């Protein structure tokens, strides 16, 4: 059992003020009233109106710092863990550092990207550096603006997503502390790499190639059925291995915090894994799928409102573009 003595000592979130209800989208898309809410499980989501990803991320980061009672100067590394970037160069973490007023601080800042699983992969990866003492306190920040990249001709996907940011601070705990990471696992099956993607915007299809005929290349495309088929086959053995590495059974997990992919996929996941509804965190109704923000945002709300205690066993779990499966079992 691989066991890292680290704790999440602060979390924070920020969502932009503009609420977009599912009825509003039904109207915009010419759908029957109620279609979007029923199909996606999302009642409302937020869309930014001019705020940047680093501005949102900095607000979530400040909330996490405040909750933990820290200043930016207490942090010795900032990791951007978003599936989308604010700009091509430089990394979003540097832009967040700047928004936090740390432009002259020297605090190392870089991004780690596994699309919707970026927070999970980031927490997993960086926990080793914290355990080894390389960094005392690391600020992980996910900030996503999904709304700019939606394809309004794909009603199954454009209705799912929302914008938002969430942050977490991790640090090493003294021996004997209940908080730790018990196990983590990631698997990538790139035969599914094109099941959900934005083909353009990078070096393969430069923005200069954007036009009315190519615009779908620059918007999020998703083969929901294909993802469902791949994931159905992979998720149970994945969770079995992860739990086995943690030494725990599913009945010993106090809280399951899944990626808020879609209402239906989460319902199926919950039933497959046999998790009681009151232990399975769903906030997709309020925010939609916020890409990599989704898991830390749900974690923040669970901590803030659900009476989670230190030592409670938490399973973070998700599927991302790639196609990747990722999960962490931790004692909070």
Cite the active site residues.
116, 259, 289
Instruction: Based on the shown chain and the rule CB under 8 A, indicate whether residue 154 belongs to the binding site for a second copy.
Output: no
Distant-in-sequence, close-in-space partners of 178: CB < 8 Å, separation ≥ 6: 310, 311, 331
Specify the stretch interacting with a second copy by CB under 8 A; choose among 6-14, 60-68, 78-86, 273-281. 78-86
State yes or no: residue 148 binds a second copy (CB under 8 A). yes
Of residues 293-322, those binding a second copy (CB under 8 A)? 320-322
For the record, the structure tokens of 56 come out as 């949102």
Using CB under 8 A as the binding rule, the residues of this chain from 193 to 252 that contact a second copy are: 193, 196-208, 210, 215, 218, 220
Asked if 292 is part of the footprint of a second copy (rule: CB under 8 A), the reply reads no
Sheet holding 77-80, edge to edge: 6-14, 164-172, 137-144, 77-80
- Answer for the pair 321, 82: CB distance below 8 angstroms, yes or no: no
Per CB under 8 A, does 62 bind a second copy? Answer: no
Exposure b/e, 223-241, CB count within 10 A at least 16 = b: bbeebbebbeebbeebbee
Give the interface segment with a second copy, choosing from 39-47, 57-65, 83-91, 271-279 (CB under 8 A): 83-91
Residue 201 gets the label, from left (phi > 0), alpha (psi -120 to 50) or beta, of left
Among 9, 52, 154, 177, binds a second copy (CB under 8 A): 52
C-beta closer to a second copy: residue 85 or 284: 85
Binding of a second copy at residue 111 (CB under 8 A)?
yes
Residue 204's region, left for phi above 0, alpha for psi from -120 to 50, else beta, is alpha
Determine, following the binding rule CB under 8 A, whether residue 1 of this chain makes contact with a second copy. Answer: no
- Note whether 67 binds a second copy by CB under 8 A: no
Give, in order, the Cα–Cα distances in Å from 322 to each of 146, 189, 192, 228.
17, 7, 6, 14
Q: Among residues 63, 109, 248, 319, which is the contact residue for a second copy, using CB under 8 A?
A: 109
Q: By CB under 8 A, tell whether 106 contacts a second copy.
A: yes
- Position among 65, 107, 169, 297 found at the interface with a second copy (CB under 8 A): 107
Residue with smaller CB distance to a second copy, 114 or 246:
114
Please tell me whether residue 93 binds a second copy under the rule CB under 8 A: yes
* Residues 84 and 146: beta-carbon distance below 8 Å: yes
Out of 95, 141, 284, 314, the only residue in the binding site for a second copy (CB under 8 A) is 95
- Listed in sequence order, the residues at least 6 apart from 65 whose beta carbon sits closer than 8 Å to its beta carbon are 10, 12, 71, 72, 74, 75, 139, 169
Report if residue 112 touches a second copy, rule: CB under 8 A.
yes
């Amino acid at each position: 059992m691989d066991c890292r003595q680290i704790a999440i000592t602060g979390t924070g979130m920020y969502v932009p003020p503009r609420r977009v209800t599912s009825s509003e989208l039904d109207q915009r898309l010419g759908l029957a009233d109620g279609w979007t809410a029923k199909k996606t499980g999302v009642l409302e989501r937020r869309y930014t109106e001019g705020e940047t990803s680093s501005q949102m991320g900095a607000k979530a980061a400040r909330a996490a710092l405040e909750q933990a009672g820290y200043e930016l100067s207490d942090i010795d590394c900032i990791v951007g863990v978003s599936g989308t970037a604010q700009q091509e160069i430089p990394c979003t973490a540097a832009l967040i550092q700047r928004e936090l007023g740390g432009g002259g601080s020297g605090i190392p800042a870089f991004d780690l990207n596994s699309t919707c699983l970026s927070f999970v992969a980031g927490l997993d990866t960086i926990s080793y550096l914290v355990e080894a003492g390389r960094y005392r306190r690391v600020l992980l920040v996910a900030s996503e603006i999904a709304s700019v990249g939606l394809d309004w001709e794909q009603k199954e996907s454009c209705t799912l997503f929302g914008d938002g940011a969430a942050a977490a601070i991790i640090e090493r705990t003294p021996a004997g502390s209940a908080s730790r990471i018990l196990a983590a696992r990631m698997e990538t099956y790139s035969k599914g790499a094109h099941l959900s993607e934005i083909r353009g915007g990078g070096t393969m299809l430069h923005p200069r190639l954007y036009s009315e005929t190519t615009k779908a290349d620059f918007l999020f495309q998703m083969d929901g059925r294909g993802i469902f088929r791949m994931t159905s086959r992979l998720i149970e053995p994945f969770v079995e291995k992860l739990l086995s590495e943690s030494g725990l059974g599913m009945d010993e997990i106090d809280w399951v915090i899944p990626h808020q992919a879609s209402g239906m996929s989460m319902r199926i996941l919950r039933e497959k894994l046999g998790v009681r509804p009151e232990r399975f965190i769903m906030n997709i109704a309020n925010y939609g799928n916020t890409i990599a923000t989704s898991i830390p945002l749900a974690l923040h709300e669970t901590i803030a409102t659900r009476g989670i205690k230190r030592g409670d066993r938490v399973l973070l779990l998700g599927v991302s573009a790639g196609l990747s499966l990722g999960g962490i079992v931790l004692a909070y």
